[in-house]
């Protein structure tokens, strides 16, 4: 009877774990808290989530930590019952077996037929309703295509099914604004911060297919994949450029402090 299962009434985070430490812990918890606030779910304290996560990831060389918070159990019907208390689920998953070439040589991607609906109330947060992504991901089975790009209903580029999208043109880094749909990725924010050190100007704005076809470099981000250069979209070639490579290097060089890896 949990509302997470019944209605997708909750939020989640997916974090990299290395040597028993979660990566970008504070950033993930901040987004989880922001998502809870938007949905009116009382958020579990950071300390409590940490106490519950640490035993799960202790001694893990490399894995994926998933934290799910739902509004909790309670009754049939959409109206949340009074006094319902949130459910916390902590999961450890194996490291996904993406080929190493994805980061190095880049990936081929496709444009999905599925569109993302405009819904400012949900845009940006990592809520549990992921049917649009499920429908989009069912569009292809070719193991050589690593990701699908999604447009919104007004032909604006939004993101990938599991990643955020960046375009580079004339040394300017561009990524779609996510006020109408999409997930405000943790790696997306990290990459925008790193851009200042390249240095590159960053523009968050509406982008269309013309911007994509005219881009010098294209790449995808998420917490698990890091930065994947895109070398083709539906057969249209892109080069794995020097600026994408520089951002990959800066990401790999982030200091091993509490900001990046929880100590
Ligand atoms: C739909 C969607 N967009 C974007 C992202 C990237 O988010 P993050 O950088 O926080 O992993 C994800 C991650 O799974 C996602 O599922």
Helices (H) and strands (E) in the chain, counts: 8, 13
- Establish if 37 belongs to a structural domain: yes
* Atom 16 of ligand 1: nearest residue by CA position: 162
In a domain, 199, yes or no: yes
Question: How far apart are the CA of 239 and the centre of ligand 1, in A?
Answer: 24
Domain count, the chain: 2
Beta bridge partners of 91: 66
**Ligand 1: centre distance to CA 158 (Å):** 12
Q: Is residue 259 included in any domain, yes or no?
A: no
- Phi, then psi, of 177 in degrees rounded to 5: -70, 150
pLDDT given for residue 2 in this prediction: 96
Closest by Cα among 41, 30, 53, 11 to 189: 30
Pocket test of ligand 1: the residue of 22, 185, 192, 226 to mutate, having most ligand atoms within 8 Å of its CB, is 185
- Catalytic residue annotation: 14, 126, 159
Same-domain check for residues 128 and 186: yes
Domain that holds residue 132: 101-252
52 shares its domain with 116: no
Percent of the chain's residues with pLDDT above 70: 99
* Domain assignment present for 263: no
Query: Rounded to the nearest whole angstrom, what is the distance from the C-alpha of residue 125 to the centroid of ligand 1?
Result: 10
Check whether 75 has a pLDDT greater than 90: no
Domain boundary among 64, 94, 124: 94
Q: What is the pLDDT of residue 258?
A: 72
- Are 126 and 21 contained in the same domain? no
Whether the model clears a pTM of 0.85, i.e. scores above it, the answer is: yes
Tell me: pLDDT of 262 over 80: no
Average pLDDT, the chain: 96
Q: Tell whether 217 and 116 lie within a shared domain.
A: yes
CATH number at residue 67: 3.30.470.10
Q: What residues line ligand 1, using a CB cutoff of 6 Å?
A: 14, 133, 159, 162-164, 183, 185-188, 221-223
216-248 pLDDT, tens digit each: 999 999 999 999 999 999 999 999 899 999 999
| Cis ω before 199 (30° cut-off from 0) | yes
In terms of domains, do 111 and 48 share one?
no
Joined together, the tokens standing for residue 23 give 């990566």
- Whether residue 177 has pLDDT greater than 90: yes
Over residues 27-49, the mean pLDDT reads 97
From 15, 93, 162, the mutation candidate for ligand 1 (largest count of ligand atoms within 8 A of CB) is 162
Same domain assignment for residues 105 and 223:
yes
Say whether pLDDT at 257 is over 90. Answer: no
The pLDDT of residue 215: 98
| Range of weakest confidence among 122-131, 139-148, 153-162, 252-261 | 252-261
**pLDDT of res. 11:** 98
Query: What CATH number is associated with residue 222?
Result: 3.20.10.10
User: Bridge partners of 70?
Assistant: 10, 87
pLDDT above 60: residue 63 = yes
* Rounded mean pLDDT, 164-177: 98
Kindly state whether residue 231 falls inside one of the protein's structural domains. yes
* The last residue of a domain, from among 94, 115, 142: 94
Q: Are residues 66 and 130 in the same domain?
A: no
Whose Cα sits closest to atom 1 in ligand 1? 162
143 C-alpha to ligand 1 centroid (Å): 20
> In this structure, are 8 and 70 located in the same domain?
yes
Residue nearest to atom 8 of ligand 1 (CA): 185
In a domain, 166, yes or no: yes
pLDDT in tens, 182-220: 999 999 999 999 999 999 999 999 999 999 999 999 999
The whole-number pLDDT of residue 263 equals: 55
Helix (H, G, I), strand (E, B) or coil at 74: coil
Last residue of a domain, one of 35, 65, 94: 94
Distance CA 175, CA 222 (A): 13
């Amino acid at each position: 009877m949990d509302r997470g299962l019944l209605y997708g009434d909750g939020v989640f985070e997916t974090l990299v774990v290395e040597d028993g430490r979660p990566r970008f812990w504070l950033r993930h918890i901040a987004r989880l808290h922001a998502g809870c606030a938007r949905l009116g779910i009382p958020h579990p304290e950071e300390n409590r989530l940490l106490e519950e996560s640490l035993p799960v990831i202790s001694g893990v060389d490399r894995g994926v930590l998933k934290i799910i918070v739902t509004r909790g159990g309670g009754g049939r019907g959409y109206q949340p019952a009074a006094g319902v208390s949130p459910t916390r689920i902590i999961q450890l998953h194996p490291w996904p077996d993406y080929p190493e070439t994805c980061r190095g040589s880049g990936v081929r991607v496709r444009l999905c037929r599925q569109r993302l609906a405009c819904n400012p109330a949900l845009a940006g947060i990592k809520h549990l309703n992921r049917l649009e992504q499920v429908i989009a991901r069912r569009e292809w089975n070719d193991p050589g295509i690593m990701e699908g790009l999604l447009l919104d209903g007004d032909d604006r580029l939004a993101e990938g099914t599991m990643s955020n999208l960046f375009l580079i043109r004339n040394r300017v880094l561009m990524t779609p604004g996510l006020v109408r749909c999409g997930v405000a990725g943790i790696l997306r924010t990290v990459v925008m911060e790193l851009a200042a050190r390249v240095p590159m100007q960053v523009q968050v704005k509406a982008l269309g297919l013309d911007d994509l076809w005219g881009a010098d470099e294209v790449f995808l981000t998420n917490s698990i994949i890091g930065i994947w250069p895109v070398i083709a979209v539906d057969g249209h070639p892109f080069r794995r450029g020097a600026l994408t490579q520089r951002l990959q290097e800066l990401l790999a060089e982030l200091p091993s402090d509490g900001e990046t890896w929880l100590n």
